[in-house]
Amino acid sequence: MAAIQLSGLISGFDWKTFVDTIIDLERTPAKKLEAEIETNLDKVDSLDGVGTMLTSLNTAITALNTDGVFDARTASTSGTGWTATAASTASPGSAAFTVTQLATAAKITSTNDIGNNIAAGSDVSGVSLANLGTGTALTAGVFTVNGARVTVDLGSSLADLFTAIGTATGGKVTASYNATDDKITLANTVEVPPNTTPIVLGSSTDTSNFLTITRLANNAGTSITSSTKLGAVNPTATLDNARLKTPISGVDGSGNGSFTINGVAITYNTGTDTLNSVISRINAAGAGVTAAFDPITDKVSLQNTSTGDLGFSLSDTTGTFLSSLGLASGATLTAGLNAQFSVNGGPTITSMNNTLTADSHGITGLSLTTTSLGSQTVSIAADTTSVRTKIDAFINSFNSVQSFIDTQSKVTSENGKVTTSTLSDNREIQSWGSSLRSNIFAAVPGLSSTLSQLSHIGIDFSGTSSLLSLKEPTKLEAALKDRPSEVSAMFRQSSTGIFARLNTLLDSFNGGSLGTGGILAKQKTSLTTSNTSLTNQIADIDRRLVQRRSILEAGFIAMERAQSLIKSMQSQIAGITPASSYSSSK
Report the distance separating Cα 272 and Cα 248, nearest Å: 13
pLDDT band at 13 (very low <50, low <70, confident <90, very high): confident
pLDDT surpassing 70 at residue 7: no
Report the distance separating Cα 535 and Cα 556, nearest Å: 31
Q: Is 583 left (phi over 0), alpha (psi -120 to 50) or beta?
A: alpha
pLDDT (tens digit per residue) in 77-103:
999 999 999 998 999 999 999 999 999
CB 516 within 8 A of CB 60: no
Q: What is the mean pLDDT of residues 249-276?
A: 97
pLDDT (tens digit per residue) in 280-319:
999 999 999 999 999 888 999 999 999 999 988 999 999 9
Q: How far is CA 250 from CA 236, 246, 254, 319, 329, in A?
A: 22, 12, 11, 4, 17
- The separation between the first and the last C-alpha atoms of the chain, rounded to the nearest angstrom, is 37
pLDDT (tens digit per residue) in 465-497:
778 899 999 999 999 888 988 999 999 999 999
pLDDT (tens digit per residue) in 97-132:
999 999 999 999 998 889 999 999 999 999 999 999
Report the distance separating Cα 118 and Cα 123, nearest Å: 11
Q: What is the pLDDT of residue 412?
A: 84
Report the distance separating Cα 566 and Cα 362, nearest Å: 119
Q: What is the pLDDT of residue 579?
A: 54
Q: Is the pLDDT higher at 329 or at 46?
A: 46
Report the distance separating Cα 71 and Cα 91, nearest Å: 10
pLDDT band at 3 (very low <50, low <70, confident <90, very high): very low
Give the DSSP H/E element, type plus range, for residue 294: strand 289-294
Share of the chain above pLDDT 90, in %: 73
Share of the chain above pLDDT 70, in %: 95
pLDDT (tens digit per residue) in 399-440:
999 999 998 988 888 887 888 889 888 898 889 988 999 999
pLDDT band at 560 (very low <50, low <70, confident <90, very high): confident
pLDDT surpassing 60 at residue 4: no
pLDDT band at 6 (very low <50, low <70, confident <90, very high): low
CB 515 within 8 A of CB 52: no
- Tell me the three-class secondary structure of 377-426, residue by residue: EEEEEECHHHHHHHHHHHHHHHHHHHHHHHHHHCCEEECCEEECCCCCCC
pLDDT (tens digit per residue) in 349-363:
999 999 999 999 999
Contacts of 20 (CB under 8 A, 6+ apart): none
Of 436, 532, 407, 522, nearest to 46 by C-alpha is: 407
Q: Is the pLDDT higher at 223 or at 7?
A: 223
